[in-house]
Amino acid sequence: MNSTPMEDPLTLYGQSFSSRLLLGTARYDSPSVLVDGISAADPAMLTVSLRRQISGPKESGQSFWNLLRETQRAILPNTAGCLSAGEAVTTACMARELFQTNFIKLEVIGDELSLQPDPFGLVEAARELVRRGFQVLPYCTEDWVLCRRLMDAGCEVLMPWAAPIGTGQGPRNPRALRELRERAPQTPLIVDAGIGLPSQACQVMEWGFDGVLLNTAVSRALDPVRMASAFAEAVKGGRSAFLAGPMIVQEIAVPSTPEIGRPFGSGTSRLETQVPGSMPM
Amino acid sequence: MSLIVNGQTHPLPEPRTLAALLRLLSPAAPFVVARNEEVIPQGTYEECPIFAGDKIEIVRPAAGGLR
C-alpha cells in the first residue's frame, strides 16, 4: 500500500479510496478488455455479483475469480436481480461469505420493466443488513423521503440513480438530484445507473456528488478501454471543478474585459465600472 | 425423497449431509452454499444435515454491475 496520504479521498464507511469511480464488471466482450478497462478507469471498487453454479466449463467462475484477485481492487458485491428484501438479505449474506467483505451494494428491484428500485423492500433489507453488520450502499432513486429512510436505517452511503439501469440517458431529474445533494451534505452520494457519457459523469461531480458508478457506458462502448479512460478523466475534472467553486450564473451579460481605458471610449458610462469581485489589471 | 438444488430436483445423497451432496456435485471453487436461505459457513458442511424438500443454492462469483 502507498503510505503517502491521499489527496481528497473518497471515504465510505471509514475506508478511503483514491479514486471516485466505481466500475461494474459485466458485459465486456472479453476478460482482457475488462482487465484493460480496469487499468484505464483506475476504479476505487469493482462491482461483482453471485450466480448459480451451472454445469459446464468449470474454468469460467475460477478464471473470473482469479481475474478479480489479480486486479487487487476492493470488491463491492451486489444483490443484482433480487426482487424482495428476503432475497437481497440472503444474497448479501452469501456474498459476504464468499468475498469476505461487509460492503454490499443493495439492489431490490421493484419493476421489471424500468428496473426501478423497490423503496419499501430497500428500506426493509437495509435495516436488516445494517443489523447484521453490513456496510450497505443502497441503489435508490433520488426521492428525498426514501433517502432519508435509508439513512435512518443506518445507510451511511447512498447510490441514487441518474436514469434507469443501462439506458445511458444521463440525469433524468437534475433538480431532484441536486436537491438531494443539498439536503444530505454530509452523506457520501454516488450516482449509480443511467450515466452514458463522460460529460454526464463530469456534470454530477460538478454538482458535488462524491462518486460515479458505471458499467454499461464503458463495457458497451466501441472502445471500452478508451471510454474507461475518458470517464476517469471526466470524474476527476468534475470533482476539481466542484472543489474550485464554480462562478455564480448571472442573468445578464457581464464584461470580463475591463472597460476603463478602452480606446475610442466616450467618457465614463455605466459600463465603465469595475466588475464586482475582479482585480483591476 | 429429493431436494431442490439451484432450482432443480436432486435425489438425497447418502449420508444426508451437505458435504455428501457437494462431493456428488463437485462445484468449482470458489462457491458458497445456502440451505433454505441460510448461508452455510465453509468448514461446516460435514455437520450440516439435509432433508427432503430442502432448497439448496450453490453460487459462484460472476461479473456484475447492476441488474
DSSP A24: E
Nearest to A52 among B6, B30, B64 (CB): B6
Provide CB contacts within 8 A for A77, sequence distance 6+: A47, A48, A49, A50, A92, A95, A96, A98, A99, A101, A103, A104, A105, B64
Interface confidence, given as ipTM, is 0.91
Local structure of A54: helix, strand or coil: coil
- Confidence at A61, pLDDT banded by 50, 70, 90: low
- Closest approach of chain A CAs to the CA of B42, in angstroms? 8
> Which single residue is written with the C-alpha cell 436461505?
B37
What's the pLDDT tens digit per position in B2-25? 999 999 999 999 899 999 999 999
A276, pLDDT greater than 70: no
Question: A280 or A121: which carries more pLDDT confidence?
Answer: A121
Instruction: Closest CB to A51: pick one of B34, B60, B67.
Output: B60
CA–CA separation, B47 and B56 (whole Å): 15
Pairing state between β A211-214 and A159-160: unpaired
CA B17 to chain centre: 10
Would you tell me the crossing angle of helices A119-131 and A144-152 to the nearest 10 degrees?
Answer: 20
Q: In angstroms, rounded to a whole number, what is the distance separating the alpha carbons of residues A273 and A278?
A: 11
In tens, the pLDDT along A214-260 reads 999 999 999 999 999 999 999 999 999 999 999 999 899 888 888 78
- Count the helix, strand and coil residues of chain B and give each as a percent rounded to the nearest 5: 10, 40, 50
Residue A172 has phi, psi (to 5 degrees) of -80, -30
Reported pTM: 0.88
Over 60: is that where the pLDDT of A10 sits?
A: yes
In angstroms, the CA A153 to CA A220 distance is 35
What pLDDT was estimated at residue A260?
A: 80
The residue ranking higher by pLDDT, A144 or A276, is: A144
Cβ pairs A/B, distance under 8 A: 119
Q: Give the Cα separation of A92 and A106 in Å (integer).
A: 8
Which pLDDT score is estimated for B63? 85
Surface of B (17-56) touching A: CB under 8 A: 25, 27-32, 34, 37-39, 41-42
Active site residue A236: no
Angle at A172 between CA A166 and CA A176, to 5 degrees: 130
DSSP secondary-structure letter at A142? S
Q: Which residue of A has its CA nearest to B29?
A: A62
**Residue A277's pLDDT band (boundaries 50, 70, 90)?**
low
Average pLDDT over residues A15-30: 94
Considering only the beta carbons, identify the residue of B41, B63, B67 that sits closest to A115. Answer: B67
Do A80 and B65 lie within an 8 Å CB cutoff? yes
